[in-house]
Amino acid sequence: MNRIKAIRNEEDYKQSLELLQDLLIADPDPNTERGEQLQILSTLIESYEATNFPIEAPTAVEAIKFRMDQLDLRPVDLVPFIGSKSRVSEILSGKRGLTVEMIRALEQGLQIPAESLIKPIEDSPESTYSKWDKKLYEIMETRGYFASLGSDFSDKVSTLQAFFNRESTLAPALLRQANYRSAPTTDRNALNAWLNFILSKASDFDDVAAYKAGSLSLEKMQELAKLSTKENGPLLAVDELKRIGIITVIEAELPKTRLDGAAVLLNARNPVIGLTLRLDRLDNFWFTLMHELAHIALHFDNDEIDVFYDELDEVKGLQIGSKESEADHLASEALVTSSKWEISPARIVPSPMAAASLARDLDIHIAIVAGKIRYETGSWAYLNKVVSNYKIRNLFPHYER
């Protein structure tokens, strides 16, 4: 058993995250030694992150948008609390502050804490960048986020301004709307930085066909899922998606997020999928990929949302919107159809033999079926060896955490 030690530096932090992942996969009984180890390690990591990656309290606009994400609300749904449609637009864009009456209505009607609504709007992007977390900035620098900017930007503020304002990316303020399937503790600055790096990498892709809306059907997704049986299946899937106009970028998540993936619907020519490989497991790769593809299939070119951020394992117990439920359902059907699942012994008997039988029937990898069994039963101890034996990061040699 790995020994838990104090987290004093970045290397200790990385090792602790890896150990935490192993323990989460094992899902030990809380009353056992390993269960106690999981609780202690979680506390140590939270303490280290709170000290080294602090999160500022959200602005009023951020607090409102977060609640909108949770309740799947549209701007028009805020009219009873704020006023006219134009007034709602002014509030959400940061052009106008909240009145006392609006704060009271939002607190009582949507249960948004008043302290989150009272925080003033930042005067300028520069003030936000000047307060940017030092550790987060250093990690971005280490991972090459600013490599293409040249050496003209020597200080943090000017570097971040250049990073968010270059042509290949998009300033978060210009997004029509982002959908956050994430925990309240997630650092939005880290998500926005990660998104911009994804877009920068996507702009380097050559010879990508134009995506045709409607070409990503359930049948096409099921065809992609069958590539999972091949040793290099994830790479083949990425190549096939590029052929139909969807760019896939692999980039590890930043601290203070538990991001699994994102679907970026900004470009009318080429939607972009970002995957973090946060969990080094084949089943997680395929479900996350299918979930983001489902957002493209369902919500591309017919919605006001530009980006779907998805922390798929960290939001249990939190209410998710209808669009996330739709994507979950389509992703599930693409991997393990409900008609096959309902009559399979794997639904009742969570054994390797039953999982292998259903996998052969569907022509997909056994790890995907094992992941389905674990999710449906709610027991992550089932088939642990099956899912943990198949890694994913080794297929992407440039992957770095």
More confident residue, 247 or 95: 247
How high is the pLDDT of residue 315? 46
Predicted confidence band of residue 316 (pLDDT cuts 50, 70, 90)? very low
Report the number of distinct structural domains present in the chain: 3
**Percent share of the chain, pLDDT over 70:** 86
Note whether 273 and 329 are same-domain residues: yes
Residue 35 scores a pLDDT above 80: no
Of 71, 99, 118, the residue at which a domain comes to its end is: 118
Range of the domain at 391: 200-395
* Pairing of the two strands 247-250 and 178-181: unpaired
Highest mean predicted confidence (pLDDT) among 45-54, 100-109, 151-160, 287-296: 287-296
Note whether 48 and 78 are same-domain residues: no
Q: Are 228 and 270 in contact (CB under 8 A)?
A: no
Q: Are 30 and 23 in contact (CB under 8 A)?
A: no
Note whether 213 and 284 are same-domain residues: yes
Mean pLDDT over residues 56-71, rounded? 76
Predicted confidence band of residue 153 (pLDDT cuts 50, 70, 90)? low
More confident residue, 8 or 144: 144
Residue 237 scores a pLDDT above 80: yes
How high is the pLDDT of residue 175? 55
Residue 280 scores a pLDDT above 60: yes
- Assess if residue 172 is contained within a domain: no
Highest mean predicted confidence (pLDDT) among 66-75, 83-92, 217-226: 217-226
- Assess if residue 175 is contained within a domain: no
Note whether 67 and 40 are same-domain residues: no
Note whether 364 and 244 are same-domain residues: yes
How high is the pLDDT of residue 399? 86
More confident residue, 151 or 199: 199
